[in-house]
Amino acid sequence: MSLFSKFDALADRRAALDETGAQPFSVVVDRLLSPTEAIVNGRQTILAGTNNYLGLTFDPECVEAAREAVSAEGTGTTGSRMANGTFASHVALERDIAAFFDRRGAIVFSTGYLANLGILSALTDRDDVIVIDGDCHASIYDGCQMGGAEIIRFRHNDADDLAKRLRRLGERAANALIVVEGIYSMLGDRAPMSEIAAVKREYGGYLLVDEAHSLGVLGERGLVEIADEHDSVDFITGTFSKSLGATGGFCVSDLPELELIRVSSRPYVFTASMCPSVIASTRAALAVLQRRPELREDLWRNANRLYKKLGELGFVVGPEPSPVIAAMVSDIHQALAIWTGLLERGVYVNLVFPPATPNGNYLLRCSVSAAHTTAQIDQICDAFEDAQRSFTTSSAA
C-alpha cells in the first residue's frame, strides 16, 4: 500500500467526473467585472454562488480604505499576532467588532475557518464535551476534533434532540459547549434560536453561535440579535469573507477568559495575521453595513424572488427563503447537466456533492447578493428553466 493509496477512490470519482465534461471544481474566474459579474471561460457570467451577500467587494469606500492601508502599512504583516503581527489596526478592528456585537471582548483570526478552529480547539480538551448540530460546517467539526473533546451531534435544528443529548450527559451537561449556526450553509435554513437557547438555559452549559452566513443578513448582527437571545449566547464566531467582502474571522464574548484563549489558541498563534489592507476594508465594510440598511432590504428582495421562482419552476429548495438557496437534485447526471448548462448560459452557482450535503442530495447552491439587479435574478431563473428543459429533452431522447 503506497502513501497515495488512500486517494484511489477519490481518483476514480474524479476520473468519472472528468469523463462527463463537467468541471465544477476547477472553475477559474478570469476577470471580475463587478460584485455580481465576471468573465468565466471567456463568457460574461452572473455570479450567483459567491456568498457576497451585501455586494461590498467593490464598494468604493472599502476599496479606498484598503488602498490607503496597503500604501501606509505595506502588503502584509509577515508575522503572527503573538510576535510582530499585531498592528494598531488589528486592535482597532477587535474594538470595532466587540462594540458592534455589544460584547466585552473580541479576537480576530486570519480566516473564518481559523476562527472556529482556534476557538473550539482552545476552549475544549479531552475532559470536555461538545454538542453540535449535525449540519455544522467542517470548520466546527475540525475545531472540535483538534481540541480532543468528546463530540456529540444532535439532529439538525432539533432542539428536542439537543435536550435529549444533554439529559443523557447528566451532570456533564452543565459544562458542555453547544454549537449551532445562524444560517446553515447548505440549505440556507436558520437555527431555531429561541428553542436552542431555552434548552441551554434548562440544562446549563455554554452556547456558541456561528454567524458566518447571517452577519449583516439577519438584522445587522445575525440570528442572535433578531431572536433577542444576546444573554443566552456565550460566544459568537463569524467571518469577514461573506457579507463584509474580505477575509478573516472573529469571536466575541462577554467572558473575560476570551483573552486567555488568545494566548492558548494554536490557529491564532501559529499563523500570519490579517493583512492591513484586509483589516481596513473590513472596518470600512462594517461601517457601511451599519449605515446602509437598504442593502439588507435589497438582499432579501432578491433572495425571496429567486427562492419563489425556483420553487415555481419545480425545483425542490430549502425549507425557508434565505440568501442561500439550494436547488436539490437526487441524480448526479441531472445535477451535472444543469450546472454545466447554467455556466454555458452565463450563470455560475456552486455544485455540492454528497456526503457534504444533507440527505444525500446534489445541490445547485445559489447565493444572492444585494448587488444583484432584478434583471439578473430573472436571468438566473431563466437559465435554470432552460438548463432543466434541455436536460429533460436530452434524457427523453
* Sheet of strand 324-329, all strands in order from the earlier edge strand to the far edge: 324-329, 362-367, 350-352
- Specify the 3-state DSSP secondary structure of 22: coil
β-bridge pairing 206-210 and 235-239: parallel
301-333: b (≥16 Cβ within 10 Å) or e: ebbbbbbebbeeeebebbeebbbbbbbbbeebe
DSSP state string for 87-134:
-HHHHHHHHHHHHHTT-SEEEEESSHHHHHHHHHHHH--TT-EEEEET
Q: How far apart are CA 177 and CA 253, in angstroms?
A: 14
Q: Grid coordinates in use for 172? A: 456533564
Query: Smallest distance from the beta carbon of 351 to another protein, in angstroms?
Result: 17
Q: Give just the sign of the alpha carbon dihedral 7, 12, 13, 15.
A: positive
Site string for another protein, 42-71 (x = CB under 8 A): ------------------------------
Q: Is residue 354 part of the contact set for another protein (CB under 8 A)? A: yes
| Closest among 50, 46, 53 to 384, alpha carbons compared | 46
Q: Is residue 168 part of the contact set for another protein (CB under 8 A)? A: yes
Size of site (CB under 8 A) for another protein: 17
Cβ 49 vs Cβ 36: under 8 Å: no
Q: Is residue 151 part of the contact set for another protein (CB under 8 A)? A: yes
Query: Smallest distance from the beta carbon of 190 to another protein, in angstroms?
Result: 21
Complex with another protein: residue 293 or 354, whichever CB lies closer: 354
Query: Smallest distance from the beta carbon of 357 to another protein, in angstroms?
Result: 8
Query: Smallest distance from the beta carbon of 92 to another protein, in angstroms?
Result: 39
Cβ 316 vs Cβ 391: under 8 Å: no
Write out the binding residues for another protein, residues 95-134 only, by CB under 8 A: 129, 134
Q: How far apart are CA 336 and CA 341, in angstroms?
A: 8
Q: Which stretch binds another protein (CB under 8 A): 14-22, 24-32, 97-105, 351-359?
A: 351-359
Q: Is residue 169 part of the contact set for another protein (CB under 8 A)? A: yes
Q: Which stretch binds another protein (CB under 8 A): 53-61, 99-107, 161-169, 203-211?
A: 161-169
Query: Smallest distance from the beta carbon of 124 to another protein, in angstroms?
Result: 12
Binding residue (CB under 8 A) for another protein from 15, 355, 393, 397: 355
173-202: b (≥16 Cβ within 10 Å) or e: beebbbbbbbbbbbbbbbbbbebbbebbee
Binding residue (CB under 8 A) for another protein from 82, 91, 146, 152: 152
Complex with another protein: residue 120 or 151, whichever CB lies closer: 151
Query: Smallest distance from the beta carbon of 356 to another protein, in angstroms?
Result: 8
Q: Is residue 172 part of the contact set for another protein (CB under 8 A)? A: no
Q: Is residue 150 part of the contact set for another protein (CB under 8 A)? A: yes
Query: Smallest distance from the beta carbon of 396 to another protein, in angstroms?
Result: 28
Q: Which helix (H) or strand (E) holds 324?
A: strand 324-329
Which residues are near another protein by CB under 8 A?
129, 134, 141, 144-145, 150-153, 155, 165, 168-169, 354-355, 357, 360
